[in-house]
C-alpha cells in the first residue's frame, strides 16, 4: 500500500503544489511507493492551475510540473492521508480543528518545515516554521519558498523510509 501525503497551503496554487512536485520527485528517485497530492484551506482558487511563477521556479529547478487543479481540503480527507503537511502555523491550526471535526486523529498533521534539519519540534506562531506565501512577491519569493520546501524534503523522505520496505 503506498504512503499517502497531502501538502496544504492557502489557495493551493503556489506552495502546496510546489511541495507536491518536490516530494513526488524525491519519492520517485528513492523508489518509495507514495501518492502525493495537495490542497488548500480556502476554496478561493478552486479549479485554477498552478501559479505561473511557481511553475517557472519548479521547471528551472528541474522538477516535473504536476497535473493540477486547485482544490480545498475536505473533512473526508482526514483518514485518507498518512501525513498532512501544512505550510504555515495558521494552516496547521486550521487543519487541527478540521481533523477534530472529522473525528480523525490529528497526529498526522505536521508542518512541512518540522522535517527540516534543526527545526523546532512543535509548531507555534513564533517557531519560524512558516513558508511565507510567495504570491505577494516576486520570483525571489518563489525561489526562497522552493528552497525551504527542498530543505524539508529530506526529512519527509527519512520519515517515509521508516514506514516503507526498502526496494530491491
Domain with residue 101: its CATH number is 3.40.50.2300
> Are residues 92 and 86 in contact, defined by beta-carbon separation less than 8 angstroms?
yes
The residues near 61 (Cβ < 8 Å, ≥ 6 apart) are: 146, 150
Is residue 16, in this structure, part of any structural domain at all?
Answer: yes
- 77: helix, coil or strand? helix
Q: Is 37 a catalytic residue?
A: no
Containing structural domain, residue 109 = 3-161
- The Cα–Cα gap between 80 and 94 comes to 18
Average pLDDT over residues 139-159: 97
Is residue 167, in this structure, part of any structural domain at all?
Answer: no
User: What digits encode the pLDDT tens for the residues 9-33?
Assistant: 999 999 999 999 999 999 999 999 9
Which one from 43, 56, 90, 133 is the annotated catalytic residue? Answer: 133
Q: Is 29 a catalytic residue?
A: no
Which one from 4, 14, 15, 96 is the annotated catalytic residue? Answer: 15
- Domains held by the chain: number: 1
Beta-bridge partner residues of 38: 7
- The Cα–Cα gap between 18 and 23 comes to 9
Is residue 20, in this structure, part of any structural domain at all?
Answer: yes
Is residue 73, in this structure, part of any structural domain at all?
Answer: yes
Would the pLDDT of 167 be above 70?
no
- The Cα–Cα gap between 36 and 13 comes to 15
Is residue 13, in this structure, part of any structural domain at all?
Answer: yes
Count of positions (residues) in the chain: 168
User: What digits encode the pLDDT tens for the residues 58-94?
Assistant: 999 999 998 899 999 999 999 899 999 999 999 999 9
Given this model, what pLDDT does residue 22 score? 98
Is residue 166, in this structure, part of any structural domain at all?
Answer: no
Q: Is 71 a catalytic residue?
A: no
Would the pLDDT of 107 be above 80?
no
Which one from 9, 14, 55, 71 is the annotated catalytic residue? Answer: 9
Amino acid at each position: 500500500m503506498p504512503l499517502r501525503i497531502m501538502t496544504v497551503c492557502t489557495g493551493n496554487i503556489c506552495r502546496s503544489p510546489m511541495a507536491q512536485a518536490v516530494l513526488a520527485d524525491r519519492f520517485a528517485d528513492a523508489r518509495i511507493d507514495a501518492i502525493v497530492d495537495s490542497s488548500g484551506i480556502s476554496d478561493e482558487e478552486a479549479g485554477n492551475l498552478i501559479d505561473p511563477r511557481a511553475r517557472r521556479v519548479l521547471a528551472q529547478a528541474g522538477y516535473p510540473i504536476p497535473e493540477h487543479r486547485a482544490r480545498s481540503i475536505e473533512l473526508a480527507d482526514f483518514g485518507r492521508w498518512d501525513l498532512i503537511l501544512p505550510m504555515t502555523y495558521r494552516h496547521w491550526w486550521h487543519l487541527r480543528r478540521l481533523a477534530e471535526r472529522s473525528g480523525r486523529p490529528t497526529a498526522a498533521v505536521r508542518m512541512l518545515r518540522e522535517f527540516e534539519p534543526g527545526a523546532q519540534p512543535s509548531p507555534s506562531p513564533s517557531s519560524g516554521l512558516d513558508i511565507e506565501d510567495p504570491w505577494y512577491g516576486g520570483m525571489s519569493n518563489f525561489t526562497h519558498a522552493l528552497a525551504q520546501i527542498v530543505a524539508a524534503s529530506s526529512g519527509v523522505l527519512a520519515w517515509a523510509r521508516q514506514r516503507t520496505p526498502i526496494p530491491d
